[in-house]
């Protein structure tokens, strides 16, 4: 099973000045690809914090995605943080340097060129395909902060990440969690490989709780659904999906 962590880097998100869109986009994409998302962290543009969070995620998960902090201004410290997480020196990447010089021409300066300073051993993904390549450092994909750029760069990642998708079934019941808690616990214990969740709603009359049953093995998901339906009172079930 391939797992992932997302690290959103940016004071502007924490201070509420910018609405967070990238975590939401990546969460949906990873779900579609069948990658199990384990953790999302939103942190400040601080080198030590980035380093410690990246180190933790990179050791624990198959893939790590960071967004933000990769421009050429004073608060763009993501690459320095990622380098520190892996104890790598920062060196100038000549492919990126060339791209930047081509793009900025006579407006080039040392702040812009600092965008080509990467942790040693970084891979450039999509070089020649994307207007600006995606940088990978070990298992960490370093994405920009601008949402439209994240989406464009993710297009080249889909094929690399594809795995077995999840199967999700849902049972909507007209009773509260109090009535179904024991059945859910029992069935969860019987199907430890299936994830069973319950989500109460109070803003609709149609149902009170949505039960979700999810896993990678469609047969096992179906078996867990059947066991739940068998154990719930028939009149409680509003509908299934």
Based on the shown chain and the rule CB under 8 A, indicate whether residue 163 belongs to the binding site for its own copies.
Answer: no
Our CB check for its own copies shows the closer of 121 and 197 to be 197
Say whether 141 sits in a helix, a strand or coil.
Answer: strand
Among positions 193-212, residues that touch its own copies (CB under 8 A) are 195-203, 212
Residues 30/87, Cβ–Cβ less than 8 Å: no
CA distances from 116 to 6, 83, 126, 138, 158 (A): 23, 13, 16, 17, 25
- Write the DSSP symbol of residue 120: T
Specify the stretch interacting with its own copies by CB under 8 A; choose among 67-75, 87-95, 153-161, 224-232. 67-75
Pick 25 or 86: Cβ nearer its own copies: 25
Binding pattern to its own copies, positions 26-65, x when CB under 8 A? -xx-xx----xxxxxxxxx----x----------------
Tokens of residue 196, six digits: 């069973």
Q: Nearer Cβ to its own copies, position 4 or 137?
A: 4
Place of tokens 């892996």: 86
Q: Which stretch binds its own copies (CB under 8 A): 83-91, 102-110, 117-125, 222-230?
A: 102-110
> Measured from the CB of residue 185, what is the shortest distance to its own copies in angstroms?
4
Q: Tell me the site size for its own copies, rule CB under 8 A.
A: 62
Nearer to its own copies, 15 or 94 (CB): 15
Angle, helices 47-60 vs 78-85, to 10°: value is 50
| Token digits of residue 190 | 């019987």
- Which of 88, 90, 91, 104 touches its own copies by CB under 8 A? 104
And the tokens for 22? 């990238």
168 binds its own copies (CB under 8 A): yes
- Smaller CB separation from its own copies, 30 or 143: 30
The answer for residues whose C-beta is within 8 angstroms of residue 24's C-beta and 6 or more apart is none
By the rule CB under 8 A, 177 interacts with its own copies = yes
7-42 as b/e, with b when 16 or more CB fall inside 10 Å? bbbbbebeeeeeebbbbebbeebbeebbbbbeebbb
Q: Which residues bind its own copies (CB under 8 A)?
A: 11-20, 23-24, 27-28, 30-31, 36-44, 49, 71-75, 104, 107-109, 111-112, 146, 148, 166, 168, 176-182, 184-185, 188, 195-203, 212, 214
């Amino acid at each position: 099973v391939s797992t992932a962590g997302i690290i959103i880097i940016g004071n502007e998100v924490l201070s509420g000045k910018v609405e967070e869109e990238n975590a939401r986009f990546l969460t949906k994409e990873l779900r579609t690809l069948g990658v199990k998302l384990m953790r999302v962290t939103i942190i400040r543009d601080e080198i030590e914090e980035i380093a410690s969070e990246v180190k933790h995620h990179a050791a624990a998960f198959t893939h790590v995605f960071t967004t933000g902090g990769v421009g050429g201004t004073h608060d763009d410290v993501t690459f320095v943080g990622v380098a520190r997480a892996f104890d790598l020196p920062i060196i100038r990447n000549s492919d990126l340097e060339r791209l930047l010089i081509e793009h900025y021409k006579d407006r080039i300066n040392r702040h812009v060129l600092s965008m080509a300073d990467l942790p040693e051993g970084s891979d450039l993904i999509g070089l020649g395909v994307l207007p600006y390549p995606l940088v990978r450092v070990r298992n960490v994909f370093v994405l920009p902060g601008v949402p439209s750029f994240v989406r464009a760069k993710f297009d080249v990642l889909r094929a690399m990440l594809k795995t077995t998708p999840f199967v999700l079934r849902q049972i909507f019941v007209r009773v509260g969690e109090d009535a179904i808690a024991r059945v859910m616990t029992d069935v969860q214990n019987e199907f430890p490989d299936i994830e069973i969740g319950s989500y109460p709603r109070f803003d609709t009359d149609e149902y009170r709780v949505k039960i979700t049953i999810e896993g990678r093995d469609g047969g096992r998901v179906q078996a867990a659904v059947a066991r739940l339906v068998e154990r719930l009172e028939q009149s409680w079930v509003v509908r299934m999906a």
